[in-house]
Amino acid sequence: MRKILFLIVLFPYLSTAQDLKDTLSFEKTYPETTEGIRFTPKQLIVPGVLLAAGIYGTMDKRLDHQVQDRAAQWGGDTFVDDILPIVSPTAVYVLNWCNVRGKHNFVDRTVIIGTAAVLTVGSVYLLKSTTSVTRPDGSGDDSFPSMHTAIAFAGAEFLRQEYEDRSVWYGVAGYTLAAGTGFLRIYNNKHWLSDVLAGAGIGILTTKAAYWLYPEIRKVYAGTKLDHALIIPWGNTRTLGLSLSVVF
């Protein structure tokens, strides 16, 4: 793996206001949190119920068809559901750059969301390849479960975990966007209700699993140069950018 010492991404920016004398910078001044979440059986209840409901729905399609018949009357066709899944995880990074600190620093939260992404995508692909459920619009046999919904709920749980100590509304916002993603997948005739329910359960569960695993994963890089990696937004009158710095 190549070691990236410094990466700068530039965005053109023309300012019509007065010159900015100082560049924008955000330093990692908050303490590192090296704890995940402790596993308790009750954490399995919500994702377990959603996943079980989704699996049951694949065996008894009556509710799926009732919901889809109603959705067909709306004649949905929107691309918003392609964007919503990435809003919550992106918000975690934006909030941190704006000095609204979450639980973990840049490297640690990236490890957590990276682990959640691997678990989410892997689980969904495994189920898609073994179930072969036809999509409502007949465009494929990989309907179950919904990948978009799984990713959206994984991101929502990530946002909730990082900011639940600050305000419950961060989690509410994330889960509202995730629920909207699931609704739009049905609205666009791309998924059954059972696909969406199962996707939601998977997304929540895999992010929780990422937090359970995080303390053990962190031991791999604790005390290494990655422990001090940092992204710093910066800018002046004509450019804005991001700097990735790793001290060797």
pLDDT tens for 1-24 read: 433 333 333 333 333 333 333 333
Q: Is the pLDDT of residue 37 over 80?
A: yes
User: Which residues neighbour 117 within 8 Å (Cβ) at sequence distance 6 or greater?
Assistant: 151, 154
Mean pLDDT on 146-172: 97
Q: How far apart are CA 174 and CA 154, in angstroms?
A: 10
The pLDDT score that the predictor gives to residue 33 is 73
Contact 189, 72 (CB under 8 A): yes
pLDDT tens for 217-230 read: 999 988 776 666 55
Q: Is the pLDDT of residue 103 over 60?
A: yes
Q: Is the pLDDT of residue 203 over 90?
A: yes
The pLDDT score that the predictor gives to residue 20 is 34
Range in 69-78, 175-184, 208-217 the model is least confident about: 69-78
pTM equals 0.82
